[in-house]
Amino acid sequence: MGAGVLARLAQLAKASSATWRVLTKLDAAAIAHGSLSTQGLRQLLAAGVELRSLSQLHAKVFLGDDAFGLIGSANLTDAGLGGTGGKSNVELGVLLDGTQQQEASKHFDGWWGSASIVTEADIDGVEKLAKNLPTSVSAPVVDAEPPQFLEEANRLLAEARSANLWIKAVYQDEAAADLAWGAGAWFSSSKRGRPSFQVGDLVLIYAKDAHRCSAVVEVTDSPRRDPAFVVSDGRPEEEGERWPWVNDVTVRLKVPSAVGVPLSHLGFTGQSLQGGHKRLGHSEFALAVRYLAATPAGDATS
């Protein structure tokens, strides 16, 4: 269950008078892999959705009132339900008639009755377990990525278990975003206070005007208040005053912004990054790295 889809479902549930029930398998390996979003699960709970977990669950069933039922191969992910950025899966679903819908509802109710209630504390616990599990990106059977690209993606996933993870918005269009992250890379933060970035933190870069996340960088120095440095890079003086806190970084993974991760895929909106940056969950970071690793080899650099 992906962050983007769960965020949209949470919005719909919050505005709905209906009772919403979601049955999943609260699995640490799926969280480590990036295929189960803890951020999305928390959003469902906050929207009043009843959430339960059933071990060994693998069914994909969607039921609405007494009139709608769908069974198929698709997971609750952007790729499963149509995709973003041209990365949709090939799926097949069967629309149920009235009798079939009632039978499917009986199965669901049976599973629901034997499932365990999921709380915020349960999500916290399984998230901690996920950080200690290994995960990896595998080369596709066809058009495999260069080995060094996959190795870097897998190093990031391994390091993410112990590093602080962030998402950072930068005011760049597609062209600027593709040029910005070479040698001597840096980003700056708001004058509102010294940011909490630490050496070794991993930061997913969101190019605001390109509407994509296309790079992962590692913080290499502590924040320094240096508006003159910002201006010396050719930025307007007012930008130096507005964004004076500078962090030096090194690029760990980079793809063209045109094939980067849409912010909606991670369950965020641009408004949620008005402060410039925020903590990123382990499952969302893993999802982003895996998305970037799926970029065609000719388009990717590392």
CB burial readout 225-236, b (16+ within 10 A) else e: eebeebbeeeee
- Contacts of residue 219, defined as CB under 8 A and 6 or more positions apart, other chains included, come to 197, 198, 199, 200, 201, 202, 203, 247, 248, 249
Which one of 3.30.70, 3.90.930, 1.10.10, 3.30.870 gives the CATH number of domain 3-131? Answer: 3.30.870
Which pLDDT belongs to residue 41? 97
pLDDT at position 147: 44
**Which residues belong to CATH 3.10.590 in the chain?**
147-299
Show pLDDT as tens, one digit a residue, over the chain (302 residues): 999 999 999 999 999 999 999 999 999 999 988 889 999 999 999 999 999 999 999 999 999 987 899 999 999 988 888 765 557 889 999 999 999 999 999 999 999 999 999 999 999 999 999 988 877 777 655 555 454 568 888 999 999 989 999 999 988 777 887 887 878 899 999 988 899 999 999 999 999 888 899 999 999 999 999 999 999 988 888 888 998 999 999 999 998 888 899 888 888 887 878 778 999 999 999 999 988 887 765 455 54
pLDDT at 106: 95
* Residues forming CATH 3.30.870 domain(s) in the chain: 3-131
Between CA 76 and CA 122 the distance in angstroms is 21
pLDDT at 50: 98
The fold for domain 147-299 equals ph1033 like fold (3.10.590)
- pTM of this structure: 0.81
pLDDT of residue 135: 79
What is the pLDDT, as a whole number, of residue 25?
Answer: 95
Q: Residue 86 has what pLDDT?
A: 55
